Amino acid sequence: MSDEIQVGATFHKKRVGKHIAMVEGPPPTAPERPKGRLPRITRYMALAIYYEDLIRQGHVHDYAEIATLGHVTRARVTQIMNLRLLAPDIQEQLLSLERNVEGRSSLCLRAFQSIAIQSDWRQQRKAFKSL
């Protein structure tokens, strides 16, 4: 009779601080990325919210500083920030637009500039529906 015992296990490498350790179990799998790209107007809307948060927290002082850090013009930052003047439900709709699998979205930043400068949200909603 043999006194040998065989044990099977799977291990994967995991970075722990500066070192790499062997960890028992299968390696983690990355989640599947959704197909397509977010529409540009959706990304601009998210960027406007992010910029506003940077200013509110005091990380940057004004649009000019954001423009310098982002390597864009102050006018472009202002155009992006104007999206924050839209009615909250319009902003929410922009953030929840479907991904574009092929082609471009018909919604562009220029179209929203004239809508955003209207102070009445009812007028904004009317203009948004006509896009």
Task: Give residue 17's Cα distance to chain centre.
Answer: 28
- Tell me, yes or no, whether 124 lies in a domain: yes
| Helix or strand (DSSP H, E) at 35 | none
Q: How many domains does the chain have?
A: 1
In this prediction, residues 80-97 reach a mean pLDDT of: 97
More confident residue, 23 or 117: 117
CB–CB of 85/117 below 8 Å? yes
At residue 126, the pLDDT reads 96
Pairwise CA distance, residues 82 & 109, whole Å? 10
At residue 15, the pLDDT reads 85
- Tell me, yes or no, whether 46 lies in a domain: yes
Indicate whether 116 pLDDT > 90.
yes
The string of pLDDT tens digits covering residues 33-67 is 888 899 999 999 999 999 999 999 999 999 999 99
Domain with 46, as residue range(s), is: 40-98+107-129
- Tell me, yes or no, whether 16 lies in a domain: no
What is the share, in percent, of the chain residues with pLDDT greater than 70?
98
Give the position of tokens 């006194």: 3
- Tell me, yes or no, whether 53 lies in a domain: yes
CB–CB of 33/21 below 8 Å? no
- Tell me, yes or no, whether 125 lies in a domain: yes
pTM: 0.74
**DSSP-derived secondary structure for 62-126:** SHHHHHHHHTS-HHHHHHHHGGGGS-HHHHHHHHTPPPBSSS--S--HHHHHHHHT-S-HHHHHH
